[in-house]
Amino acid sequence: MRASKRVNRSRVAEDSVGSRDRELAGLLSQFASTMLTDFPIQAILDQLVQSIVDTLPITAAGVTLISASKEPHYIAASNESALRFERLQTFAEQGPCLLAYTSGEAVTIPNIDVEGRFPRFGPAAQSAGMVAAFAFPLRHGDGRLGALDLYCDSPGPLSTADLATAQTLADVTAAYVLNAQAREEARQACDLFRDSSLHDSLTGLPNRLLLQQRLEHAAQRGSRSHTNAAVLFADLDRFKDVNDTHGHQIGDELLVAVADRLSGLVRPGDTLARVSGDEFVFLCEDLHAAADIEVLAPRIKDAFAAPFTVSGLELSISASVGMAYAGPGEAISGQLLVDADIAMYQAKRTGAGGQEIVDIRDAPQRAARTTLEQDLQAAFSQEKLDLAYQPIVRAADGLVTGVEALLRWMHPERGPIPAVNVIDIAEANGLIGDLGTWVLRRGCSQRTQWLRDNPGQPLDLAVNVSARQLLGPGFVSTVVDVLAETGMDPRALVLEMTETVLIEDAERAMTVLADLKELGIRLALDDFGTGYCSLSYLRNFPVDILKIDRAFTAAITSDRKTEAIIAAVTALAHELELDVIAEGVETLTQNTKLLEIGCESAQGFWYAAGLPAAELSALLGAHTRAALHLPSTHPDPTQTSRPNSAPLVPAT
């Protein structure tokens, strides 16, 4: 405990006043320097109350936060006496601290012996050793956050100058508390955003992104421990029949039931993820032999032996399973997921509930694994790839402001291949540079053709760029060449990237992005917060647009946390003068909620799916006005989602 500091507070020499002013200036300067730091609020306030004791003629100080909906709670005290007095006021539900908070005015008790305003607190405080106390509201506009309390072990008033100084310190304390609370709320929202972005909104399982991260960690552990890993890719058989027969609500409930049952098969330390639609993936680590994983496939098959009970219905379904097994270290990579996917399709050809294993250490199996890579090479060289274009609209009225170019590959045997798989393969075999350039050139050329056929039509073009493509040699030069070849207005080009670009090589990324901005190109940060969610990206990197992932949009009407996260991210983006686009808008309710939050732009099936270039051309050509509007409400107001078969007709 600090030594007693007895002073005559009513008489202070002028030189002491000057010294006090210098001490106050130094204290305020020190305090201001912490305002923009990430120092914990508790540590800063503990130091503050101690510095106040050193500056003013008092023996102890404390800060208590108060709100109308919560009990007062202590947050800082200079010594045990101050802590005791703060707690006494909370216990007694009265005292100078609470009165200063409720009244908004300073409360002085020069001598507790003659104080009669606090019949419960006064005697207890006197017994605890309090002699004099002074409380000052932590003011915030017309409201208060709590109070700063000063205590003395000798009776007598504070001087007018000391009272003014104390209120100044209380106001500064309030400013710091508000600043720290804002930082903490932003951090919590960011953490929630990150956690939600790594998990499937329907089942709560890890999603593809988190699975990729855990694959990377498995590779690092495997290189150290020399253990093996495997991926099992399970795809439900004829799941589309369930949706077509019973509706998507029953289909979603079935997926949740499947996730629950499969979760019972996961060993501690392994991962079960839902990577898309009806596809589930097991990542099994610390294996010693292929036999360790081969026993799991029959267990997955057995998990589907009993029917699933969903909303009173008994549904029977099976799953085809593909397995990919790898040795330690560098053999464990994202390629395992591609291999297991290939094995799953091989298993599907054998009939419902089939299973297939791929050991990537085995030469014949490696040859089988390269089939899809070769098919992609052939499709690219033979111009069998295509682009679809999904409109991006102003959410308030459906005004089309741009389109996003989406890569499409229809495999002759396997059907449509997800774009994310195409990119994974292209990055693995070195095709990504040529493929990315083709997408950019094709999209820019198509926009130029649309504007030639429909003069005056405002239309931005958004093109996705992978990290390896953007950070590769000559990317900016390639963009310059494409702009020149196609006559594309750089101000209408939006390059979309994920945070992977910003963390893979931050220095290189900064240079490339700055060069692109010099060209007039706008930059969009797709899936902001996915995996890392560092606010410094928004401060340091020259992005213009934030895109909210479809997983958040899907849950906005059913999960208050998701709604709060989207609202926080949207508000943050607008403070930074960034535009916000929500992806995956599929219902009127979602669109309305996004509008209430302040999200100005949207894309998704509620407006239109990805359209072939010819269909979008026809849509543009059929419209006689300069601006194209897609319907923002369905003709039937009782219908909350737009059927896939609904014709896309411009409003007239």
Extract the tokens encoding 642.
């737009």
**Sheet (strand 107-109) strand order:** 70-77, 60-67, 143-152, 132-140, 107-109
Residue 613 forms part of a structural domain = no
DSSP state of 288: S
What is the secondary structure of 362-411 as a DSSP string? Answer: SHHHHHHHHHHHHHHHHHHHTT-EEEEEEEEEETTTTEEEEEEEEEEEEE
Together in a domain, 158 and 116: yes
pLDDT value of position 198: 83
> What is the total count of domains within the chain?
2
Together in a domain, 157 and 207: no
Residue 506 forms part of a structural domain = no
Together in a domain, 96 and 242: no
Amino acid in position 186: A
For residues 324 and 257, is the Cβ–Cβ distance under 8 A? no
Extract the tokens encoding 340.
């297991």
CB neighbours of residue 144 within 10 Å: 21
* DSSP three-state, residue 282: strand
- Residue with the two structure tokens 């894309």: 603
How many CA atoms within 13 Å lie on the side-chain side of 541? 30
- Residue with the two structure tokens 């800060």: 63
Instruction: Give the span between the Cα atoms of 80 and 83, in whole angstroms.
Output: 5
Together in a domain, 117 and 213: no
Question: Which domain covers residue 51, as residue numbers?
Answer: 14-190
Residue 7 forms part of a structural domain = no
Instruction: Determine the angle formed by the axes of helices 160-197 and 560-575, rounding to 10 degrees.
Output: 120
Residue 640 forms part of a structural domain = no
Together in a domain, 52 and 94: yes
Together in a domain, 170 and 247: no
Task: For the chain, state the CA radius of gyration.
Answer: 32
Together in a domain, 287 and 143: no
Instruction: Give the span between the Cα atoms of 188 and 190, in whole angstroms.
Output: 5
Give the dihedral of Cα atoms 47, 49, 53, 57; nearest 10 deg.
150
Extract the tokens encoding 560.
């208050």
Closest CA to 234 of 353, 318, 319: 319
Instruction: Give the span between the Cα atoms of 310 and 317, in whole angstroms.
Output: 12
For residues 557 and 201, is the Cβ–Cβ distance under 8 A? no
Q: Which of 326, 345, 361 marks a domain boundary?
A: 361
Residue 632 forms part of a structural domain = no
Together in a domain, 175 and 259: no
Residue 28 forms part of a structural domain = yes
Instruction: Give the span between the Cα atoms of 94 and 38, in whole angstroms.
Output: 34
Which stretches of the chain drop beneath a pLDDT of 70? 1-41, 68-72, 74, 189-195, 290, 327-331, 346, 349-370, 428, 500, 502-505, 528-539, 622-629, 631-652
Together in a domain, 48 and 175: yes
Q: Please report, for the domain that includes residue 227, its CATH number.
A: 3.30.70.270
Q: Which residues pair with 235 in a beta bridge?
A: 279, 320
Instruction: Give the span between the Cα atoms of 84 and 507, in whole angstroms.
Output: 52
How many CA atoms within 13 Å lie on the side-chain side of 152? 21
Together in a domain, 207 and 183: no
Instruction: Give the span between the Cα atoms of 237 and 262, in whole angstroms.
Output: 15
For residues 377 and 564, is the Cβ–Cβ distance under 8 A? no
Exposed, middle or buried by CB within 10 Å (0-12, 13-18, 19+), for 193?
Answer: buried
Closest CA to 326 of 343, 315, 314, 339: 339
Q: Which of 147, 163, 190 marks a domain boundary?
A: 190
Residue 147 forms part of a structural domain = yes
Q: Please report, for the domain that includes residue 67, its CATH number.
A: 3.30.450.40
Extract the tokens encoding 418.
């997800």
Residue 564 forms part of a structural domain = no
Q: CA 190, 195, 200, 203 torsion: positive or negative?
A: negative
Together in a domain, 261 and 130: no
The CA-based angle 178-183-189, given to 5 degrees, is 120
Q: Which of 361, 376, 398 marks a domain boundary?
A: 361
Strands (E), 594-638: 601-602, 611-612
Spell 443-468 as b/e; 16+ CB within 10 A means b: bbbbbbebbeebeebebbbbbbbbbb
H/E segment holding residue 588: helix 588-597
Together in a domain, 173 and 225: no
Task: List phi, psi (to 5°) of 530.
Answer: -65, 110
